[in-house]
Amino acid sequence: MSIDTEIARRRTFGIISHPDAGKTTLTEKLLLFGGAIQEAGAVKSNKVKKGATSDFMAIERQRGISVATSVLAFEYKGIKINILDTPGHKDFAEDTFRTLTAVDSVIVVIDVAKGVEEQTEKLVAVCRMRSIPIIVFVNKLDREGKDAFDLLDEIEQKLKLRVTPLSFPIGMGYGFKGIYNLWEQNVNLFSPDHKQHVTATVEVKDLNAPLLEATVGDAAAHTLREELDLVAGVYPEFDTEAYLRGELQPVFFGSALTNFGVRELLDCFVSIAPKPRAKQSETRLVAPEEAKFTGFVFKIHANMDPNHRNRLAFIKVVSGTFRRNVPYLHVRLGKRMKFSSPNAFFAEKKQIVEVSYPGDIVGIQDTGSFKIGDSLSEGEAISYKGIPSFSPEHFRYINNADPLKSKQLYKGIDQLMDEGVAQLFTLNLNNRKVIGTVGALQYEVIQYRLAHEYGAKCSYETLNVYKACWVDPEDEKSAEFMDFKRVKQRYLARDKQGQLVFLADSSFTLQLTQQKYPSIQFHLSSEYR
């Protein structure tokens, strides 16, 4: 197969949701359709089970499992599908943000009873920022939940999306009869007792024909007609191009657990979801079809075994082909490196692969050469934009608790930050180090890993910071900026890339500072240029 054909048949995407909405269940059902697994329950969830929130070892163990489920690849109707796993636990939200830099599209799962939840809002905001094409899957229709129209309104308002349903539920919960598929124009009947749940697929091209009554009964047919009239009147017609531009989001309804509505979702997905897309580097737009290989590291996974301190770096192939044992340029280090055992991922297995194409993810054993955001190429000094850092939610000073082990401590901190476990800020005033995390849990993880993997001890000290804001002055030499740096000296720090960050201690301070220094912008993400 030519490289163009290989590119055209790849779909690399992520499933995002608030924990418990059904991401793992849906992933598993997709794999079943692809024949990649034979039975339900085969995919180990990497989510942190309820009640395990204070047990960080359990979480780390589960993160260990997630190496296997980091990329789940399977074939469906000749299409190679790569699902990039995103951790559900909110304390690992940074991992998810970074994974979103490697996907070409996403499916958002929403629980029909709970509606749009907090984690989903945050993740979708990132997708919107990058114009990532989104398909919405409303899950758990076999249970009582919110009215479909109310839910569509909620999705539009809270997620700021422009939606159009491509399937519509007929009833819900106990009264759930099935789904009208607007995409394929047929009715799928649901039977809670039937093993496959879909009892029949009836093609209903003419909604006014008595076939609809015969299929779903008089009352349901009447309601469905009214509802579909409303859908046609209120929602825009589906347009693939608008979806691909990130301007229109199709919505499907179903029940992952009972395997209902999943095939419809998958069939539509393979026909509309984007193939690997061109990616903007610092200097130019790189097309997947280009002959020369380029790629970037979006995730680093530590080995939990302290005797094998190697890590797995996940590289997304952006252009050309990645080949085993061919020397590539590690752009940041300016060094050629070749890889004798790159891994590709198939369902829950990984295996050594000779060649990978754009859209694919390659796992490389790493002993500390890679950082998140690093690029590889055949010689060009390419650097991919957009592995952003977001302001952490928690901040603590980190202190060395064993003066004899300071070298180990700093090496450990350095490497853990390269993996993206947390963010490090160094205060301008006194060079004290501050660790910023998304969740409080990471502090325990860091302490544990520093002790077990690096033989170093640390302690923390609280620090009252509300948000870290990346500072973006209109003019670095202006009197206003000089004044800001002088007055706010105590609150200024550098991130790991050396960018200036203002650690605001409250939203009030941030507001006041913004008013006082109008020519300086304060960003909650490092990606603002």
Q: How far is the CB of 239 from ligand G4P (least distance, A)?
A: 29
Nearer to ligand G4P, 41 or 78 (CB): 41
Here the tokens at position 95 are 């991992």
Name the H helices within 51-147: 56-68, 93-99, 118-129
If we measure between CA atoms, which residue out of 444, 491, 463 comes closest to residue 393?
A: 463
Nearer to ligand G4P, 88 or 178 (CB): 88
If we measure between CA atoms, which residue out of 228, 247, 231, 230 comes closest to residue 239?
A: 247
* 97 within 8 A of 373, measured Cβ to Cβ: no
Q: Which of 3, 8, 20, 60 binds ligand G4P (CB under 6 A)?
A: 20
- Rounded to whole angstroms, the Cα distance separating 235 from 249 reads 11
Nearer to ligand G4P, 22 or 392 (CB): 22
Q: Does residue 140 bind ligand G4P (CB under 6 A)?
A: yes
The one segment of 23-31, 65-73, 452-460, 520-528 that binds ligand G4P by CB under 6 A? 23-31
Nearer to ligand G4P, 19 or 64 (CB): 19
Q: How far is the CB of 312 from ligand G4P (least distance, A)?
A: 22
Nearer to ligand G4P, 19 or 473 (CB): 19
In a 3-state reduction of DSSP, which class is residue 99?
helix
Long-range contacts of the stretch 32-37 (C-beta < 8 A, 24+) = 32/259, 33/76, 33/262, 33/263, 33/266, 34/74, 34/75, 34/76, 34/81, 35/74, 35/75, 36/72, 36/73, 36/74, 36/75, 36/346, 36/347, 37/347, 37/348
* Number of chain residues interacting with ligand G4P (CB under 6 A): 19
Q: Which residue has the tokens 């990978």?
A: 356
Nearer to ligand G4P, 111 or 366 (CB): 111
How many residues does the structure list for the chain?
Answer: 529
CA torsion 304-310-316-318 (nearest 10°) is: 170
Sequence-ordered list of residues with C-beta below 8 angstroms from that of 130, at least 6 positions apart, any chain: 100, 101, 246, 386
Residues facing residue 344 across a β-bridge = 351
In the chain, % helix, strand, coil (3-state, to 5) comes to 30, 30, 40
* 463 within 8 A of 116, measured Cβ to Cβ: no
Q: How far is the CB of 488 from ligand G4P (least distance, A)?
A: 41
The dihedral region occupied by 83, where left means phi > 0, alpha psi between -120 and 50, and beta the remainder, is beta
The one segment of 21-29, 154-162, 221-229, 469-477 that binds ligand G4P by CB under 6 A? 21-29
The one segment of 123-131, 138-146, 199-207, 512-520 that binds ligand G4P by CB under 6 A? 138-146
* 168 within 8 A of 183, measured Cβ to Cβ: no
Q: Which of residues 86-115 bind ligand G4P (CB under 6 A)?
A: 88
Q: Which of 66, 139, 377, 526 binds ligand G4P (CB under 6 A)?
A: 139
Q: Which of 16, 21, 71, 427 binds ligand G4P (CB under 6 A)?
A: 21
The one segment of 153-161, 253-261, 410-418, 507-515 that binds ligand G4P by CB under 6 A? 253-261
Q: Does residue 188 bind ligand G4P (CB under 6 A)?
A: no
Nearer to ligand G4P, 108 or 362 (CB): 108
Name the H helices within 235-338: 240-244, 262-272
- Rounded to whole angstroms, the Cα distance separating 338 from 377 reads 11
Q: Does residue 257 bind ligand G4P (CB under 6 A)?
A: yes
Q: Does residue 143 bind ligand G4P (CB under 6 A)?
A: yes
In a 3-state reduction of DSSP, which class is residue 342?
coil
The one segment of 4-12, 15-23, 244-252, 339-347 that binds ligand G4P by CB under 6 A? 15-23
Site string for ligand G4P, 27-66 (x = CB under 6 A): ------------------x-x-------------------
If we measure between CA atoms, which residue out of 241, 234, 202, 236 comes closest to residue 221?
A: 202
Q: Does residue 117 bind ligand G4P (CB under 6 A)?
A: no
Q: Which of 101, 255, 281, 377 binds ligand G4P (CB under 6 A)?
A: 255
* 473 within 8 A of 483, measured Cβ to Cβ: no
Q: Does residue 142 bind ligand G4P (CB under 6 A)?
A: yes
Q: Which of 9, 11, 22, 420 binds ligand G4P (CB under 6 A)?
A: 22
Nearer to ligand G4P, 66 or 186 (CB): 66
The one segment of 205-213, 252-260, 293-301, 313-321 that binds ligand G4P by CB under 6 A? 252-260
Q: Which of 3, 8, 19, 228 binds ligand G4P (CB under 6 A)?
A: 19
- Rounded to whole angstroms, the Cα distance separating 136 from 166 reads 10
Nearer to ligand G4P, 25 or 281 (CB): 25
Nearer to ligand G4P, 45 or 478 (CB): 45
Q: How far is the CB of 183 from ligand G4P (least distance, A)?
A: 20
Q: Which of 25, 281, 377, 391 binds ligand G4P (CB under 6 A)?
A: 25
Q: Which residues bind ligand G4P (CB under 6 A)?
A: 17, 19-25, 45, 47, 88, 139-140, 142-143, 255-258
